């Protein structure tokens, strides 16, 4: 069954007043509980706002993109559903709960993973 990455960029939730964050958190957790109950949830979470580290093929480490100058991932969910349409329905629930747009991408199947 296909797996999908549902994600949003860092800063996508910055428009939400701090006083509203507990309600947003509860709404997001409600969708997470619903996804778990439906058996579609694989993994997800938010990412700390910070500059990332890039480990290159030769093992050297460089600084990653600076969040102010390039879009970086702010949070994600991985779900397993029968179709792209199903993934879009879950993304809509997440978007409503988190009050920000979500990007949906199918994860390429790798039989070795």
Residues 6+ apart with CB under 8 A from 17: none
Query: What is the reported pTM?
Result: 0.83
Q: Mean of the pLDDT values across residues 1-17?
A: 94
Cβ atoms of 21 and 29 within 8 Å: the answer is no
Q: Is the pLDDT of residue 70 over 70?
A: no
Cβ atoms of 97 and 26 within 8 Å: the answer is no
DSSP β-bridge partners for residue 76: 7, 45
Separation CA 53–CA 33 (nearest Å): 32
Using N-to-C axis directions, what is the helix angle for 84-98 and 21-38, rounded to 10°? 160
| Range with lowest mean pLDDT among 2-6, 44-48, 92-96 | 44-48
User: In the chain, at which residue ranges do the beta strands (DSSP E only) sit?
Assistant: 3-9, 41-46, 53-55, 61-63, 73-80, 103-107
Q: Can you give the pLDDT at residue 49? A: 77
Burial class (CB in 10 A: 0-12, 13-18, 19+), 27: middle
């Amino acid at each position: 069954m296909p797996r999908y990455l549902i994600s949003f960029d860092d800063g996508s939730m910055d428009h939400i007043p701090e006083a509203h964050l507990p309600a947003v958190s509860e709404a997001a957790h409600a969708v997470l509980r619903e996804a778990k109950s439906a058996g579609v949830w694989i993994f997800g979470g938010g990412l700390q706002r910070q500059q990332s580290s890039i480990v290159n093929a030769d093992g050297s480490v460089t600084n990653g993109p600076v969040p102010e100058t390039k879009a970086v991932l702010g949070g994600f969910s991985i779900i397993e559903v029968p179709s792209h349409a199903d993934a879009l329905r879950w993304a809509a629930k997440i978007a409503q709960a988190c009050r920000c747009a979500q990007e949906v991408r199918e994860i390429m199947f790798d039989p070795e993973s």
